[in-house]
Amino acid sequence: MSVVAHVPPHRVFSISIHDHPHRCLPSSPRSLHEEIVDFFNFMSPRPEEEAMRRDVVNRIESVIKDLWPTARVEIFGSFSTGLYLPTSDIDLVVFGKWDHPPLQELEQALKKRNVAGPYPIKVLDKATVPIIKLTDHETEVKVDISFNVETAVKAAQFIKSYLKKYTVLPPLIFVLKQFLLQRDLNEVFTGGISSYSLILMAISFLQLHPRIDTRRANINLGILLIEFFELYGRDFNYMKTGIRVKNGGAYLSKEDMLKAMGSGNRPSMLCIEDPIQPGNDVGRSSYGVLQVKQVFDFAYMVLSHGVSPLARAYPNKEYDSTLGRIIKVSPEVLVYRDWTIKKWGAKQYAKLENHGNLATTFGLRHLDWNCLFMMIPENSTTTILLPSVLCTATRRKPRKCPTTPTPRARSPAPSTGSSTLRSEGSRATRTP
């Protein structure tokens, strides 16, 4: 099978780079830039994935509207901004007139409608922001529901404005989110940093870059990624410095940050001023930020060596992909995305009769690589001709995903592999 495509840099298959007139030298900043672009295009949400999430939102909204017809449901977080990975949560906020958030009442209604199926529904009524956490049993998408949190919607609007201002921001965020996800450092309750904190750190990095006008579109993403890891893995003084994004951005001493905060609050180790709610320290719950700093430092060392002339003189035989040295996508996630695309409207892929001409006409930008990969027979090796690389793709029989009981009338979603991702990045077994 010979096709023309661009290949995303994940490690489900091996990539061998050969001399090609349209490809820059491997192990160079430009090559890393191209890998980041390819990874971003591969991981960016497909229309089918958005449709699936919209369906989840609509079903939950119908439960809420049955309870409170005048209530308003808003989406915020990564689904609102478009910066979500295949296994990311959906964040919803419900606006209505209540003296206290009606968590238990909504919990009972969701159970009655069997939205979560066999999965538990958790009510976190003692949290700083009380929420309901559930997993939709049809799609295995996780959903967080809060009440009357105006700042959440404003934060999403704030991020959208910066996505327009800095076009380099989305590809950087996708790589950074995947990097933290597979090391189990993407959640505050595990000691990691939230998506909101990560985005504010990236915005601050772009605002205060000493040499480059980061609002330009033609910037080398490889250099920016390495310098991000260098800043927050080596140079940034977490003990004394806080981050401010509003009014063009600035670094402030924590003494100055303390003055802006309410009484009884002190700046945390990762001190980030909330641009929507001044006085709120966005990073205050990230108790494991020094571990995040450590893995950022590790990534800086790996990538800076990977693009150095020394790396070209002494190539790493295990990795032809420089970006693939720090991130990967699990086979379970690929299976889950394939299931999503097939179930939510991508029937045109299955109708293509001549697999050998799939991408010669459309190119991978218009063809889902996952669907192409799933066409390779299990335990077989296929050579794929690309405009920039020559790849050897080996599809091995994936491990069985854990199954959960679902109602007989439903077609169960395959496991998203989130537990596998976390086990790969768990503190007991992971490498930096």
Report pLDDT for 189: 79
Using CA atoms, how far apart are residues 115 and 142, in angstroms rounded to an integer? 11
Please indicate, yes or no, whether the overall pTM of this predicted structure exceeds 0.85. Answer: no
In this prediction, the residues of the chain whose per-residue pLDDT falls under 70 are: 1-27, 262-264, 310-320, 346-432
Q: Are 195 and 261 in contact (CB under 8 A)?
A: no
Q: Are 201 and 172 in contact (CB under 8 A)?
A: no
- 311-333 per-position pLDDT tens digit: 665 555 555 689 999 999 989 99
Report pLDDT for 53: 95
Using CA atoms, how far apart are residues 256 and 246, in angstroms rounded to an integer? 15
Q: Which amino acid is at 213?
A: D
- 205-260 per-position pLDDT tens digit: 999 998 888 888 889 999 999 999 999 999 999 999 999 999 999 999 998 888 87
Q: Indicate the Cα dihedral angle 149, 155, 160, 161, nearest 10°.
A: 130
Q: Are 426 and 185 in contact (CB under 8 A)?
A: no
Report pLDDT for 317: 57
List alpha helices for 277-417, DSSP H: 289-306, 309-313, 331-343, 347-351, 358-362, 369-374
Count Cβ atoms below 10 Å from residue 213 Cβ, excluding itself: 8
DSSP label at residue 218: S
Using CA atoms, how far apart are residues 48 and 50, in angstroms rounded to an integer? 5
Cα separation of the two ends of the chain? 37
Report pLDDT for 188: 87
Q: Are 31 and 25 in contact (CB under 8 A)?
A: yes
Question: Which strand (E) or helix (H) includes residue 397?
Answer: none
Which residue bears the tokens 């380099």?
168
Residues 6 or more apart whose CB falls under 8 angstroms from that of 280 comprise 273, 274
Helix, strand, coil shares, percent, the chain, to 5: 45, 10, 45
